[in-house]
Amino acid sequence: MFNTAILLGTLAAILLVIGWLIAGVIGMTIALFIAIAINIISYWYSDKFVLKMYRAKPLHNEHIQSMVEKLAHEAKIPKPKLYSIPSDVPNAFATGRNPEHSAIAVTQGLLHLDKEEIEGVLSHEIGHIKNRDILVQTLAATIAGAIAYVAQIGYWSMFMGRGRRDEGNVLMLILMVIFAPLAALLIRMAISRSREYKADRTGALLTKNPRGLSSALRRISQIARHHPIKGSSATSHMWIVNPFHKDWFTGLFSTHPPIEKRIERLEELKAN
């Protein structure tokens, strides 16, 4: 968690530096207020936004409810609320600012997997909630988005003549406009990938059955490859497997570790 805090701090610092390069202390102050506003909105409302985005409705399924209750008890956290997403493609995500205000959303297609696979997916999402990953990943995604937005303002300020005019600052601004969004994306990837590995491990330890999760990851990945869902790529980090269309370029900047690596680590757990 310490490393994650450093990465989040770096994201905030990049945002402040861009603000300073665009408009000095005033720009840095504006960037600071943007960062604060993003953090507040993300903390209180991000779960509501994403559930509404995917038309999630409360899930009334006694079997799944019982499974989640058992896993939550094992993880020593309150039982999350359950939601259903109208999609035949199997997938799931967790959301909420803390274990006391958390939810798990599953697609209707997930319910057609084997029992062990469903339990593996749910345990992974419980792992995210237990490790408080949702808020961390949401903050990383929103701050990275703000950096891209502020960098775009800097880009236009250079052409509109409103930026700081000395050559040193103009050069620095050009570099920040180009490299800051890329650095933010790489940091966001590092945070997301590390939390995915940890959630896999936590979920496998909760069920004591890494095989169920590894089988689910393999099946969901294969189906998602041929049947990507429609939605915002900004939410890709939330899903257990990236459900959106991918090509070689987007694969380079994926918020998820390679499925083969995740399965390999789960296999190592099974062997121990």
Q: What is the pLDDT of residues 193-202, one digit of tens each?
A: 888 999 999 9
Q: According to DSSP H, which parts of the chain are helical?
A: 2-53, 62-75, 115-130, 133-160, 167-207, 210-226, 248-252, 259-271
Show the domain range for 55.
Answer: 2-271
Asked if 92 and 112 touch (Cβ cutoff 8 Å), the reply is: no
Report residue 61 as tokens: 């399924």
CA 255 to chain centre: 7
Catalytic residues: 125
Asked if 206 and 75 touch (Cβ cutoff 8 Å), the reply is: yes
Residues of the chain under the 70 pLDDT cut: 1-12, 16, 18, 21-25, 27-28, 31-32, 35-36, 38-40, 42-43, 137-146, 148-177, 245-253, 271-272
pLDDT digits (tens, 9 = 90+) for 35-86: 667 666 766 777 888 899 999 999 999 999 999 999 999 999 999 999 999 9
CA distance 22 to 259: 41
* pLDDT given for residue 2 in this prediction: 47
Length in residues, the chain: 272
* pLDDT given for residue 128 in this prediction: 95
The side-by-side arrangement of strands in the sheet containing 92-98 is 57-58, 81-85, 101-107, 92-98
* pLDDT given for residue 163 in this prediction: 46
Tell me how many domains the chain contains.
1
Nearest of 107, 48, 140, 116 to residue 228 by alpha carbon: 107
Nearest of 21, 41, 45 to residue 31 by alpha carbon: 21
